[in-house]
Amino acid sequence: MSATLDAGRRTMRLEGEAVLTAGAQLDARFERAVALLAAGGRVIVSGIGKSGVVAQKIAATMTSTGTPASYLHPIESLHGDLGVVGADTVAIVLSKSGETDELVGLLAELSRRAVPLIAIVGAMDSTLGRAATVALDGSVKEEACPHDLAPTTSTAVAMAIGDALAIALLERKGFGREDFAALHPGGRLGRRLLLRVRDIMVPVERMLTPDAPMREVVVALSRGRGLSLIAADGRLLGVISTGDLTRVAERTPDFLGIPAGDVMTSTPRTAAADDLAATAVGLMERHGIVALPVLDADAAVVGVAHLHDLLRAGVV
């Protein structure tokens, strides 16, 4: 193994082990921290240096999952930026040592304003750890840096704890897919979360009855882009795909007169018009199919969802 590969694997092993250890150490303090965040309004997240970069990421994650949050620079906070701190603000402050000089002024102001303080700190018995309303243990045995200097393992743990807070808070608030979509309307993610099957399905030109001969199915398959629907009174009885056609043709050369009901799959996969388009994609991927009949609440056929339409819509 090369030294380069060894260094990469060692780094990821140390960080992974540290995150697992931190997760195992979560206790009632974590629950209290989530309760504080849920009861509050805006969240400010602060830290200096690498901890500040992690703080910005945590703030962004919370904002995108339904909890308004912003990064507050410890120094700039003392030069006007404390204006973002309101009566219902909750603070999250990150520091490996818990003794960072630049945090002292901010901690004093937060205390003076009676702002609940959640610390993610590497030294629980530090100034930050003691000042916190709730202190979460972000300590690590060693950094992945061979000199045990550059924040690596410690920042991975701090970020993981921040993510854990955000996700636990999301679940406590009942923040769902639709809420997430409302905050991410642009790009592929928004399309995956907002688009419904009804938005991409196409109408069915013709549905056949079970006694229709396979010669009619062949024509319907070409017009239906690989899927023929067998129905009665608007209710789906089964489907015939191009794969079904190939298999029956291989078994029975003179198949054109066979009734469609003898060939159809009577328990096909289907989608509901109100399903997320992404759900339909997942169903197609799991079962190796390229089209789904779409049914309404009364099980009547209202359209067909095709994989290439989902592709064109940017859902896949």
175-184: long-range pairs with CB below 8 Å, 24+ = 175/65, 175/66, 177/276, 179/66, 180/64, 180/65, 180/66, 183/63, 183/64, 183/66, 184/64
220 neighbors 302 (Cβ within 8 angstroms):
no
| pLDDT tens sequence across 60-71 | 998 888 888 999
Whether 215 and 258 map to the same domain: the answer is yes
The answer as to whether 184 is a domain residue is no
**pLDDT of amino acid 226:** 82
CA distance 258 to 246: 14
Contacts of 127 by beta carbon, 8 Å cutoff, 6+ apart: 98, 99, 103, 104, 107
The answer as to whether 185 is a domain residue is no
The answer as to whether 191 is a domain residue is no
pTM over 0.85: no
CATH number of the domain to which 20 belongs: 3.40.50.10490
Whether 38 and 80 map to the same domain: the answer is yes
Pairing outcome for strands 301-306 and 291-295: antiparallel
Whether 205 and 301 map to the same domain: the answer is yes
Tokens standing for 83? 């204006």
Whether 89 and 222 map to the same domain: the answer is no
**pLDDT of amino acid 275:** 87
Q: Which of 300, 280, 301, 299 is nearest to 290 (CA)?
A: 280
| Residue that is last in its domain, among 175, 205, 238 | 175
Whether 143 and 18 map to the same domain: the answer is yes
30 neighbors 168 (Cβ within 8 angstroms):
yes
| pLDDT tens sequence across 227-282 | 889 999 889 999 999 888 899 988 888 899 999 999 999 999 999 988 888 888 88
Query: Which residue range forms the structural domain that includes residue 149?
Result: 3-175
**pLDDT of amino acid 266:** 92
| Residue that is last in its domain, among 175, 208, 223 | 175
**pLDDT of amino acid 94:** 96
The answer as to whether 180 is a domain residue is no
**pLDDT of amino acid 63:** 86
**pLDDT of amino acid 139:** 94
Whether 249 and 157 map to the same domain: the answer is no
Whether 30 and 134 map to the same domain: the answer is yes
The answer as to whether 242 is a domain residue is yes
Per-residue pLDDT of the chain (316 residues; tens, 9 = 90+): 688 999 899 999 999 999 999 999 999 999 999 999 999 888 999 999 999 999 999 999 988 888 889 999 988 877 667 878 888 999 999 999 999 888 888 898 899 899 999 999 999 999 999 999 999 999 999 998 887 778 899 999 999 999 999 999 988 887 766 655 555 555 555 555 567 888 888 888 889 999 999 999 999 888 888 888 999 988 999 999 988 889 998 888 889 999 999 999 999 999 998 888 888 888 888 988 889 999 988 889 999 999 888 887 776 5
Between the CA of residue 269 and those of 49, 289, 311, 312, what are the distances in Å? 53, 9, 19, 22
Whether 71 and 169 map to the same domain: the answer is yes
Whether 289 and 215 map to the same domain: the answer is yes
The answer as to whether 279 is a domain residue is yes
- The count of structural domains within the chain is 2
Whether 102 and 222 map to the same domain: the answer is no
CA distance 269 to 286: 11
Whether 133 and 14 map to the same domain: the answer is yes
The answer as to whether 189 is a domain residue is no
